[in-house]
Structure 1
């Protein structure tokens, strides 16, 4: 393939732009905020699970407390009715009065036991409520950190994307000045060779594979016409000759 020396030189400009685009893509993918957000979201999920468990426990103890208080209220109402009957004593035999006194005493003990249950449940519910409050604070704190990291990531991504747009536009302008056949060869090699399709020959060394040309290869390149597109014998990239090639 033949191409004007100036067109071959422009391949180095194009390669520099493609290299920059590759660097920007890597930078975008490797932003430290990505790992930070992933870690924080793992913590957030764990704290949310704990919060749901605590809220469930608080809800369960709330129902348990309501049931215990209902039991106390029922015993209290029955005890009040029995006490009213005992106080009136109307139409009751001594034996009935004695039995009623025992029942009132029994209900009083039962009420005391149930009130103890209510207190115990209330203590557990208060502990659950404190746990819910604590975990809610943790979730909010971690969520705030996630939001902050996401904002920093988005700002960094926006800046990178803006530079990508600028470099891409510049690449289009440079690519438009290169003959189609040469550009197609360059693009093909760039895909095959890890993003580098053209390399400068500097002081008899290919800057693509970093290997120095042997004397036979140097003589072949030296003998090639100025418009001949030469390739590195080692990496097969387009070898661009410049005044600093050492030929």
Structure 2
């Protein structure tokens, strides 16, 4: 009876490195997917609408406050001018000298002009105030729908992110197993290359490294094959990735 063949340790190391890289690639893709979810864009759009709504609310409130103040000031000034006109008209009844009467009439006319201007100002403010009051009523009526849409968009994003986080957690568990099957020195080398190159492991297809897509010379290929026999992998002379031959 022929003994069962022992597993090739070189192939084992190469396979485990490729498995580890596959897990990390999947995780990287999931993280990118998480950041580019359409739900994230939808939430951003809803947040933008809500921000615009709040800004307009503040603008309307500020303008209404100014209009109210302007109307009150106009009414107070009108009351002062009316009192001054009443006083001047009372004086007119006691004035005998024509020149003095003419001066009083001029003051009264000036007051009347000022009152007309104040009335126009107050009327314009009242009309704008009425229009803004109507706008505010409609604006406030739209708040509920906007906040509901915002909440739904937020929940939709959280659900999608939670699903991806579950996948990432599963991959994390798989990664612990995959890395644990490799020699610690190989893992350190893998992590070092991954931190600088992103993808740490690449296969040699013909004369080309699939990591940097550059061709190795015939001598470099021969050296890579020799080194991989001993370690299960070698380093790409072009990009430094762990090269599986």
Report the TM-score range of the alignment, normalised by the length of the smaller protein. 0.5 to 0.7
Q: Give 1:131's aligned residue.
A: 135
Q: Give 1:83's aligned residue.
A: none
- RMSD, aligned CA: 3.4
Asked if the contact 2:207/2:218 (under 8 Å) is kept, the reply is no
Asked if the contact 1:36/1:149 (under 8 Å) is kept, the reply is yes
- Separation of aligned partners in 2, 1:121 and 1:218: 86
- Separation of aligned partners in 1, 2:29 and 2:193: 18
Asked if the contact 2:228/2:234 (under 8 Å) is kept, the reply is no
Q: Give 1:178's aligned residue.
A: 182
Q: Unpaired runs of 5+ in structure 2?
A: 1-8, 79-115
SS across alignment from 2:229: coil
Distance 1:221 1:59, change over 3 A: closer
Of structures 1 and 2, the one with the larger relative CO (CA 8 A, separation 6+) is: 1
Q: Does 2:14 match 1:8?
A: yes
Q: Does 2:70 match 1:50?
A: no
Q: Does 2:157 match 1:157?
A: no
Asked if the contact 1:199/1:208 (under 8 Å) is kept, the reply is yes
Q: Does 2:159 match 1:166?
A: no
- Of 133-142 and 231-240, more deviation after overlay is shown by 133-142
Distance 1:120 1:19, change over 3 A: closer
Asked if the contact 1:206/1:232 (under 8 Å) is kept, the reply is yes
* Deviations 1:23-48 (CA, angstroms, capped at 9, x unpaired): 11111122233333334323322221
- Separation of aligned partners in 1, 2:26 and 2:66: 60
- Separation of aligned partners in 1, 2:219 and 2:10: 24
- Separation of aligned partners in 2, 1:133 and 1:127: 10
Q: Give 1:102's aligned residue.
A: none
Q: Give 1:224's aligned residue.
A: 227
- TM-score, normalising length from structure 2? 0.67
- Separation of aligned partners in 1, 2:123 and 2:200: 79
Q: Unpaired runs of 5+ in structure 1?
A: 72-112, 242-247
Q: Give 1:28's aligned residue.
A: 34
- Separation of aligned partners in 2, 1:216 and 1:125: 86
Distance 1:126 1:218, change over 3 A: same
- TM-score, normalising length from structure 1? 0.66
SS across alignment from 1:224: helix
- Of 54-63 and 174-183, more deviation after overlay is shown by 54-63
Aligned counterparts, 1:19-98, within 5 A: 19-58=25-64
- Separation of aligned partners in 1, 2:21 and 2:27: 10
- Separation of aligned partners in 1, 2:12 and 2:172: 21
- Separation of aligned partners in 2, 1:35 and 1:148: 13
Using the TM superposition, give the Cα deviation of residue 225 of structure 1 relative to its aligned residue in structure 2, in angstroms. 5.6
